[in-house]
Structure 1
Amino acid sequence: MTRIMISLFIALFIAPVMAAGNNDAHNPANLQLASVSAVVMDANSGEVLYQKYANMVKPMASLTKVMTAMVVLDAKLPLNEAIRFSQDDRKAINYYHSRIRVDSELARGEVLRLALMSSENLAAAALGRNFPGGLPAFVAKMNAKARALGMKNTHYVDSSGLSHENVSTAADLAKLVAAAAKYKEITNYSTTPIYTANFSRPRYRLDYVNTNPLVRYQRWDVAMSKTGYLNEAGRCLVMKANVDGKDLVIVMLDSFGKTSPMGDAGRIKRWLASGNGGSVASAAKEYQKRKIATHLASRATASIR
């Protein structure tokens, strides 16, 4: 692919993708986001109100943990059963930092809460390992569930999301959020603002906070939430939230900057209310250009092969 062709593709990608059925009051061109990919969908009707590069396959980071929760709950494993954290769990997350002590125990339901609200990676790893058949069987169930939900461009390789090989699209993740919000445990656990977990063997306590400030400070009416971050994935956020009386599914992938998903959420809210979402920083625009160029170059290389 020549540089001219890549430049042309970038120019086409940079303009927001128009969602069918939008009127002038909610023109997608009036909503700029710092996220590379996004979807805003009416949770009740399924109507897509806004979409931006919704089918671009990207790493999803800890958004993976939403599927982890669904697989655990679908299996109807006892939530009051104690799970012991092991060195195998530490190895599964490449010895990534965790405050949880090896060999300590916590009820499965509370482990699930920590994975969802605070994105505790060791908790997600332990949930996968303590599944019948172990992690391989667990990951197989994750991918089977994705297929059942019609998530055609989604693939899982672990239960925590620390691998960049866990990939999806904004369109697929909108389906995931809509399905996950029907589980009362997921809505409860993922929207817990703060929580103290009481471990045993040995006995100790750890305080956790929700990784979504909109939930932690109760700024929005959020029914389901999950954040994610990896270098390869950028800042990610999915939510089901009530905005001005309307239940919405919101997916934002690969946001520029630590607080960008919060800024994008605010821009979406203003756009829905007034038709004007405001603007984003020039650095965020440049970030998106680079990400799109990398994506296109990768596609061009794959097509040559």
Structure 2
Amino acid sequence: MKYFLAAVTSLFFIFYTSDSCARRAEYTPKTQSRAVLVYDVDAGKTLYAKNIHSVYPIASITKLMMAVITLDARLPAKRIITVKPADRDLLKKTGSRLTVGSKLTRTTMLHIALMSSENRAAAALSRYYPHGRQAFIRHMNLKAKKYRMLRTHFTDPTGLSPASVSTAHDLLLLVKHASQYPVIRRYSTDKKLRVFTGKGSLIYKSSNGLINNRQWKIALQKTGFTNEAGHCMVLKTTIKHRKYIFIILGARNHYGHYADAITLKNWLLHKR
């Protein structure tokens, strides 16, 4: 009898664990953000898609394209750029520690624009572009067309304008291209930088809370927020020795984009 019970128990265990693994493999994560995409870089395929072709404001994710245009221009990296009144945010009336009259090199401006999402740095970079800011924005849109980002349109270099829009699908293309620039990978993932503005020193830190988390291996990232866009984040990361790109747009909760990123990571960790 005891052998019969042991056999039944073993069969039940095998059936239960097999069924459990199958259900876990079929599990689809629930995300709160309005558009989400997970792309397996190594396999070259999308694993998770939610509203990926819907057009939304993208806030400071815009600065990834700003960085591409800045770097492609191959302008002098050590050129001193001065913040002017034209670099202030007159749309949202947001403030900045980078006061009018501050002076930084083009390299440092780009660094804090990517790492800390410094709006005045991005605005100043666009103003110092050949033929000015409007030419800069025109080249942002031309580059978007070149990348086949067909539902994307930029109206400013910072992302403060709700008219700067894209889709999760298009932003996947942008992240793929932006990740080919070592400067963008490095500056976007730096944790902290002290800068000297001519008026004193400032310490800038990453706008992404995951950067300081040792459980995350991030090769590129950018966060963004406006009331219209919600909380947004794109990142390229390594999980279980595989490379993935996350696109997360429109989380309403202050930490919603982080919660979705963690949910997606846990899903990938347990995915067969």
Pair 1:230-2:226 in alignment: yes
Change (3 A) 1:269 1:78: same
1:272 to partner: Cα distance: 1.1
Within-5 A mapping of 1:105-254: 105-200=103-198, 202=199, 204-254=200-250
Change (3 A) 1:103 1:180: same
44, 49, 52: which one aligns with 1:51: 49
What is the rounded CA distance, in whole Å, between the counterparts of 2:25 and 2:140 in structure 1?
Answer: 36
What is the rounded CA distance, in whole Å, between the counterparts of 2:29 and 2:168 in structure 1?
Answer: 17
Letter in 1 for 2:179: A
Name the TM-score, length of structure 2 as normaliser: 0.88
Instruction: Using the aligned pairs only, state the percent identity.
Output: 37
Name the TM-score, length of structure 1 as normaliser: 0.79
Change (3 A) 1:179 1:271: same
What is the rounded CA distance, in whole Å, between the counterparts of 2:45 and 2:233 in structure 1?
Answer: 20
What is the rounded CA distance, in whole Å, between the counterparts of 1:60 and 1:26 in structure 2?
Answer: 32
Partners of 2:89 and 2:95 within 8 A in 1: no
Structure showing greater radius of gyration is 2
Change (3 A) 1:44 1:93: farther
1:26 to partner: Cα distance: 4.7
- Determine the structure 2 residue equivalent to 1:64: 62
**What's the RMSD between the two structures over aligned residues?**
1.7
Within-5 A mapping of 1:269-288: 269-275=265-271
1:243 to partner: Cα distance: 1.2
Q: How many aligned positions are there?
A: 251
Change (3 A) 1:159 1:92: farther
- Determine the structure 2 residue equivalent to 1:35: 33
1:269 to partner: Cα distance: 1.1
What is the rounded CA distance, in whole Å, between the counterparts of 1:253 and 1:26 in structure 2?
Answer: 25
1:270 to partner: Cα distance: 1.2
| 1:90-147 deviation digits (Å, cap 9, x = unpaired) | 1566542001121121011110011111011111110111100111100000001101
- Determine the structure 1 residue equivalent to 2:255: 259
What is the rounded CA distance, in whole Å, between the counterparts of 1:155 and 1:258 in structure 2?
Answer: 26
Partners of 1:234 and 1:255 within 8 A in 2: yes
- Determine the structure 2 residue equivalent to 1:302: none
What is the rounded CA distance, in whole Å, between the counterparts of 1:189 and 1:115 in structure 2?
Answer: 9
1:217 to partner: Cα distance: 3.8
SS in 1 for 2:187: helix
- Determine the structure 2 residue equivalent to 1:279: none
1:275 to partner: Cα distance: 3.9
Partners of 1:40 and 1:51 within 8 A in 2: yes
Change (3 A) 1:197 1:274: same
- Where structure 1 has 5 or more consecutive residues not aligned to the other structure, the ranges are 1-22, 277-305
1:256 to partner: Cα distance: 2.6
What is the rounded CA distance, in whole Å, between the counterparts of 1:213 and 1:167 in structure 2?
Answer: 24
1:46 to partner: Cα distance: 2.5
